[in-house]
Structure 1
Amino acid sequence: MRPPRHLSLSLSLALGLASPLALAQGAPAAQPAPKAAAAPAKAAAPQKPAVSQPRGGSAGAPPAARQRHARARKSKKKEAQPSLAGRPVATFPGFRMLPTGGSRVFVQIQGGKVDVAESKAAGRLVYRLKGAGAIQTNRFPIVTSFFATPVTQVQLVDQGNDLDMVIDLRTQTDATYRVIETDQGMVLQVDFPPSVPEQRSAAPAEVTRKRSDRRTISQEPGSDAESSDL
């Protein structure tokens, strides 16, 4: 007896579906595709350090150019100052008070003797040392205004190939100068009499004494001054 036709068709379909399913269950699971490696982070570009620009006209110039500018400025300063080679040099300007109450301004010249020319103006005396020179540290002013002297300041000033000793005065006064020769060269001395402020200081003492005398007289009994004071 033959099975019904529809039953045979159902069996055929079931067998046909079972074989692919069995193959699918027995096959290993597919491995997922590896992910692409993350690209390395881009390194940050190093920042250039800020360069401070020097003041002046050489800003932004390379170091070699700045050095050339500095050398040029130094050479210009040297050219502006007369050379001291082979010239008498003022090595020691100074000021001192004298035991008599007067004062003295002096300058020492080494390397030879020079001629001295005196000139006077209102509030100033100038002594020109012909052919002499001085280094920078000896050209700084010497302030003497806090002493009891007519002199307020002394300074050595270059005048071409000559040197001036300029003396500023508080009041016009008589001054005498002399040149002393030494083994190394010479010394110029300028002497001043006692200062006027010392004479003024005696005036208040005289006024005080007169006031004291008036008080003494007014206290004498029986005087007209006493009655008037009362």
Structure 2
Amino acid sequence: MRPPRYLPVLFSMALGAAPSLALAQSAPAAPAAPKAAPAQATTAPAPAKAPAAGAPPAARQRPGRARKPKKADDLAGRPVATFPGFRMLPTGGSRVFVQIHGGKVDVAESKAAGRLVYRMKGAGAIQTNRFPLVTAFFATPVTQVQLVDQGNDLDMVIDLRAQTEATYRVIETEQGVVIQVDFPPFVPDQGAAAQPDGARQRAVRRTISQEPGSSDEGSSEL
């Protein structure tokens, strides 16, 4: 029995395809392509709004400061010394005075070495009126005047550079009273007169003076 004619052809085709199949099986598999990373969603920041035309700039916020509670006015209902004053008189003498507003007061005088004190019963004074009033650069026995609290009373303390006679009086006004203390003419020693002008001007700037109802001419005041 003869084999079919197509067997040799099939056999030769199988032999030719065998090397190609072996090479295909021995070749390494190609690496898989990397997966694409998922796209990340990005959001652009919103642009700042420009201020409207004519609008004021935003105020910077600063931490607030704690405010101290205000003290009760302990001068309410009491006579108050508005300020002490000093002036040179045309006669060559000098005068110390203080105005009291809000009522009348009783005054008590006391004398000590180099000092006169006039106590005003029931009166008071604010802090700015208790600063010293310096008068040492004038031809007066008075070197300084100061209002000093003494409990519920107020003292007008007058420091002197030399013992001298002084007279005081209490003048009633529509607002209260004015206390005047007058001193006779005085010639200071050369050391006091030789003080520099700059120091005298500084002392004058620190003083406050004004006497109501005064009509004396040619007097100098502090």
Q: TM-score range by the shorter chain?
A: 0.5 to 0.7
Deviations 1:191-224 (A, max 9, x none): 11122317999xxxxxxxxxxxxxxxxxxxxxxx
Which deviates the most, 102-111 or 27-36? 27-36
Match in the other structure for 2:152: 161
In the TM superposition, what are the counterparts of 1:124-139 in structure 2 within 5 Å?
A: 124-139=115-130
In the TM superposition, what are the counterparts of 1:1-230 in structure 2 within 5 Å?
A: 15-22=17-24, 30-33=32-35, 67=66, 70-71=68-69, 74-75=70-71, 78=72, 83-197=74-188
Match in the other structure for 2:6: none
Q: Structure 2 vs 1, CA of residues 13 and 184 (structure 1 numbering), >3 Å: closer, same or farther?
A: same
Q: Structure 2 vs 1, CA of residues 195 and 15 (structure 1 numbering), >3 Å: closer, same or farther?
A: same
1:160 & 1:150 partners in 2: Cα distance? Answer: 29
Deviations 1:119-162 (A, max 9, x none): 11111110001111112222121111121211111111111111
Q: Which runs of at least 4 in structure 1 moved beyond 4 Å after TM superposition?
A: 11-15, 22-25, 33-38, 198-201
1:36 & 1:126 partners in 2: Cα distance? Answer: 97
* 3-state SS of paired residue (1:197): coil
1:30 & 1:13 partners in 2: Cα distance? Answer: 32
Q: Structure 2 vs 1, CA of residues 12 and 171 (structure 1 numbering), >3 Å: closer, same or farther?
A: farther
* 3-state SS of paired residue (1:166): strand
1:90 & 1:145 partners in 2: Cα distance? Answer: 23
Q: Structure 2 vs 1, CA of residues 199 and 178 (structure 1 numbering), >3 Å: closer, same or farther?
A: farther
2:176 & 2:24 partners in 1: Cα distance? Answer: 129
Gaps of 5+ in 2: 1-12, 41-63, 193-222
- The number of equivalent residue pairs is 160
- Normalised to the residue count of structure 2, the TM-score between the two structures is 0.59
1:37 & 1:24 partners in 2: Cα distance? Answer: 38
1:139 & 1:150 partners in 2: Cα distance? Answer: 21
Letter in 2 for 1:96: R
Letter in 2 for 1:163: L
Shift, 1:36, TM fit = 9.2
Higher normalized contact order (CA 8 Å, seq sep 6+, divided by chain length):
2
Contact 1:142–1:155 (CA under 8 A) maintained in structure 2: yes
CA-atom RMSD, angstroms? 3.9
Q: Structure 2 vs 1, CA of residues 20 and 126 (structure 1 numbering), >3 Å: closer, same or farther?
A: farther
Match in the other structure for 2:199: none
Letter in 2 for 1:134: A
